[in-house]
């Protein structure tokens, strides 16, 4: 993960040399001959370099490695626009930082950066953590910012679609295998299926088999699928009670044969005598359900 850096640090030539792998003598020679750097000076006359200078030196070294002569490499490096970045020292795993980077990339429609952030996440930690510590909070935040008008519809769409693609990528094959079977769907009119996908992934990680009908599924289709697939669990998710209410009677009738749950923000107010209600963090809810 790459963070922007407060370019306050002033390095002396030895440190610049250590970080860049270029000897102090050579650094001075490059300055003298090509004006590659213009370090400020300490009161006593020692050179003080910025982190940008470090990047410049690295760039020059790379050009030399590419076969350019020193002078040409310097000319190129001197006028290149540099973005000072640094590997996070806390590279461990800082959920807030990653979330921020994800938000930045998404807002800027920077798809590669967003994908890279997710790639890095998946490499560094478990799927559960990615989902519950980063993606779910990010989605929540995105919703809030959208409601507050801080995010355009285009940005929201961009982010949703990118994440949907990624999550469905992770989901590939979740309908396979011998575990208990869960059927997931959003009712007619509901198009927010990301939370449901996250829930499905968490369930999958717990050994379940997932059948996903996705957004905007008519009641009849849900019932039909239950009949033909005979899942151990049916989850219907929506963001508002109005969308959920029309489905409830039919679900109640199913509840004899199989476990049925309502999920999402819309499930909050609907009581479930026979129906389970899952309104918390999708991963935690998956844990709860899987543990039964």
Per CB under 8 A, 53 contacts a second copy: no
Cβ 286 vs Cβ 263: under 8 Å: no
We find the least distance from the C-beta atom of residue 144 to a second copy, in angstroms, to be: 18
- Which C-beta is closer to a second copy: that of 24 or that of 120? 120
Q: Cα-flanking dihedrals φ and ψ of residue 85, to 5°?
A: -130, 165
Q: From CA 211, how far away is CA 229, in angstroms rounded?
A: 9
Decide if residue 7 touches DNA (CB under 7 A): no
> Which residues inside 6-45 make contact with a second copy, applying CB under 8 A?
7-12, 14-15, 18-21, 42
Residue 215 phi/psi, 5-degree rounding, is: -70, 150
C-alpha neighbours within 13 Å on the C-beta side of residue 152? 7
Tokens of 181: 């079977």
**Among the residue ranges 28-36, 198-206, 254-262, 263-271, the one whose residues contact a second copy (CB under 8 A):** 198-206
Instruction: Give the whole-angstrom CA distance, residue 119 versus residue 268.
Output: 34
Contacts of residue 211, defined as CB under 8 A and 6 or more positions apart, other chains included, come to 175, 181, 182, 183, 184, 225, 229, 231
Chosen residue from 176, 253, 257, 268 binding a second copy by CB under 8 A: 176
93 binds, among a second copy, DNA, none (CB under 5 to 8 A by kind): a second copy
Q: Which residues pair with 48 in a beta bridge?
A: 40
12 binds DNA (CB under 7 A): yes
Which member of 21, 44, 81, 149 binds DNA (CB under 7 A)? 44
Q: Which of residues 224-283 bind DNA (CB under 7 A)?
A: none
Q: Restricting to residues 109-168, name those near a second copy by CB under 8 A.
A: 109-112, 115-116, 119-130, 133, 152-154, 157-158, 160-162, 164-166, 168
> What is the contact surface with DNA in residues (CB under 7 A)?
12-15, 17, 23-26, 28-30, 32-33, 42-47, 64, 69-72
């Amino acid at each position: 993960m790459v963070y922007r850096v407060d370019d306050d640090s002033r390095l002396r030539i030895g440190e610049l040399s250590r970080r860049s792998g270029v000897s102090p003598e050579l650094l001075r020679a490059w300055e003298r001959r090509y004006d590659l750097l213009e370090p400020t000076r300490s009161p006593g006359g020692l050179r003080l370099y910025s982190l940008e200078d470090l990047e410049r030196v690295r760039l020059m070294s790379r050009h030399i490695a590419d076969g350019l002569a020193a002078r040409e490499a310097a000319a190129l490096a001197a006028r290149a626009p540099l973005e000072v970045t640094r590997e996070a020292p806390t590279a461990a795993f800082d959920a807030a930082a990653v979330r921020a980077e994800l938000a930045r990339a998404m807002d800027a429609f920077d798809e590669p950066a967003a994908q890279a952030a997710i790639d890095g996440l998946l490499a560094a930690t478990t799927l559960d953590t990615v989902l519950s510590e980063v993606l779910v909070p990010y989605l929540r935040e995105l919703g809030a910012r959208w409601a507050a008008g801080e995010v355009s519809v285009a940005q929201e769409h961009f982010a949703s679609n990118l994440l949907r693609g990624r999550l469905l990528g992770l989901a590939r094959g979740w309908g396979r295998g011998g575990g208990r079977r869960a059927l997931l769907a959003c009712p007619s009119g509901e198009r927010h299926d990301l939370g449901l996908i996250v829930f499905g992934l968490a369930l999958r990680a717990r050994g379940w088999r997932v059948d996903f009908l996705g957004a905007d599924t008519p009641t009849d289709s849900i019932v039909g699928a239950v009949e033909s697939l005979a899942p151990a669990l049916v989850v219907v998710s929506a963001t508002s009670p109005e969308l959920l209410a029309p489905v409830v009677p039919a679900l109640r009738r199913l509840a004899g044969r199989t476990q049925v749950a309502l999920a999402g923000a819309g499930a909050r107010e609907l009581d479930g005598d026979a129906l389970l209600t899952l309104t918390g963090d999708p991963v935690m809810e998956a844990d709860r359900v899987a543990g039964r």
